[in-house]
Amino acid sequence: MASRIGSLIRLVRGLGRSGRVALLIDGPNVLRRQFEVRLDDLKDIIEDLGKIGVAKVYLDEHASRKLLEAISNSGFTSVVTPHDVHLCMVIDAMDLILGSTTNLLAVFSRHARTAPILRRAREHGINTLAIGFEPGFSVAVQNAADNVLRLDMPIPPQIAKLKDRKGKQKGKEEQVEEIA
């Protein structure tokens, strides 16, 4: 896991700093003992993209006191709801999107219910990042985001793909400038 985190940090640095970042985490979906997710490592990765303005972990009413304490100690805000976690995420995401103070919206979830959040952010010109891993990382979520960080794959191929995409976008921008 430690070498994977180091590779992810290099990947994120390759994306460049984006400014103000919002990180929304689908707690019941990704914060399980068997997945061994460390919020401190995730926070370090996201901080390389820009200043974290919002860092929230959404949980259901079954969240343990120990989990709530760990989330707080990592500098995240816990949002505990007796209702659907994804509904709370959507409401907060829309506030962020319409408030237009966020340059990058990062969503850490494997569930397809979070794909509309990423699509709506993109419609409003906000860069998006889907973070997830197998098993069960929704293809819809991956396709809805501008960038994807897969915590379960070798990182170097992801870096090459993102650099290639970024280079193609830069080439298109230069062509537009030449025409104008």
**Structure tokens that stand for 137 in this block:** 């990382």
Let me know how many helices (H) and strands (E) the chain has, helices first: 8, 6
CA-nearest of 64, 121, 62, 67 to 89 is 121
Kindly report, residue by residue over 40-71, the tens digit of the pLDDT: 888 877 777 778 889 999 999 888 899 899 89
Residues with Cβ < 8 Å from 152, sequence gap 6 or more?
A: 133, 134, 137
- What pLDDT was estimated at residue 161? 60
Q: Which residue did the predictor score with more confidence, 59 or 170? A: 59
Residue-by-residue DSSP string for 85-108: HHHHHHHHHHHHHHHT--SEEEEE
Query: So what's the architecture of 2-179 in CATH?
Result: 3-Layer(aba) Sandwich (3.40)
**Using CA atoms, how far apart are residues 54 and 76, in angstroms rounded to an integer?**
8
pTM: 0.75
